[in-house]
Structure 1
Amino acid sequence: MFGGGGLNPRKMKQMMKQMGIDVDELDADRVVIETPDDDLVFEAPQVTRMDAQGQQTYQIVGEAEAVADAGLDGAAAAVEGDADESSSDDTASETDAIPEADVSLVADRAGVPESTARETLEAHDGDLAAAIAELE
């Protein structure tokens, strides 16, 4: 489009700024793309956001790992790890009902206390997406 090959990156930024295109690098630790068949997980990706005429476009650069589709439950488990496996027998039935990882995920995403996140998850029978949607 611009003849690209020998264009100075500084000159390219200047041209994009003149055209009203703003480019920002995002500090992302992980990106998950959910598809109907599986999830694509990018660990330590390079993420660039381009804002042109009010529309935002994201570019993700990195290696994707295909993970069997587990919805938000799988993302929560992958984010939080297996820390809940060492819980005692007294709390096992409560942990099985609503895992701490799910409560933490909902609380973080919705910006609410964990007690509110737990109540909302219980009201939605552990459905993470419904709980987050209600709290946002």
Structure 2
Amino acid sequence: MFGGGGGLDPSKMQQMMKQMGIDIDELDAEEVIIRTSEEELVFTDADVQRMDAQGQQTYNIVGDPERRAAGETSDSAEEAQENEGIPQDDIELVAQRTGTSEDAAREALEATDGDLAAAVSRLE
């Protein structure tokens, strides 16, 4: 693309890109997730660059992703499953509202199939 041979000096490449109005920034990404209908690609500690050229942003991700089947649970989803599918926020809300422990709130939510109002009524 830029002429023959063994490649360009990176500083010359950056200078040429800047002249063409292309700006590249390194991002300090901790995790990048790409979801498709069939799978998730999870990149941790990937090298991510954002290139801005004529108002269009393009992202370049370099790393080795972990592949997960679509719908496979993440850590936070696993926590919700451990709570019998009851979200932690609901447990905390019922416990705070009724002044009971989270365990008691969880039991009330499980007994009422996750119905917040019924769980609060049950504990009051």
- TM-score (structure 2 length as normaliser): 0.60
Higher helix fraction (1 or 2): 1
Gaps of 5+ in 1: 87-91, 101-124, 126-136
Q: Name the structure 2 match of 1:39.
A: 40
Q: What is the CA–CA distance in structure 1 between the aligned matches of 2:26 and 2:37, rounded to whole Å?
A: 28
Whichever of the two has the greater Rg, that structure is 2
Q: Name the structure 1 match of 2:6.
A: 5
Gaps of 5+ in 2: 90-113, 115-124
- Please state whether the residue corresponding to 1:5 is helix, strand or coil: coil
- Please state whether the residue corresponding to 2:2 is helix, strand or coil: coil
Q: What is the CA–CA distance in structure 1 between the aligned matches of 2:38 and 2:52, rounded to whole Å?
A: 30
Residue identity matched to 2:2: F
8 Å CA contact 2:26–2:48 kept in 1: the answer is yes
Percent identical among aligned pairs is: 52
- Please state whether the residue corresponding to 2:6 is helix, strand or coil: helix
- Matched pairs, number: 89
Q: Matches of residues 1-136 of structure 1 in structure 2 within 5 Å?
A: 1-3=1-3, 5-70=6-71, 74=73, 77-78=74-75, 80=76, 92=83, 96-100=85-89
Q: Name the structure 2 match of 1:111.
A: none
TM-aligned CA deviation for residue 99 of structure 1: 3.5
- Please state whether the residue corresponding to 1:12 is helix, strand or coil: helix
Q: What is the CA–CA distance in structure 1 between the aligned matches of 2:6 and 2:65, rounded to whole Å?
A: 27
Q: Deviations over 1:106-134 (max 9, x none)?
A: xxxxxxxxxxxxxxxxxxx9xxxxxxxxx
- Please state whether the residue corresponding to 1:67 is helix, strand or coil: strand
- TM-score (structure 1 length as normaliser): 0.56
Q: Over aligned residues, Cα RMSD in angstroms?
A: 2.8
Q: What is the CA–CA distance in structure 2 between the aligned matches of 1:82 and 1:48, rounded to whole Å?
A: 31
Q: Deviations over 1:80-110 (max 9, x none)?
A: 4866788xxxxx56xx32245xxxxxxxxxx
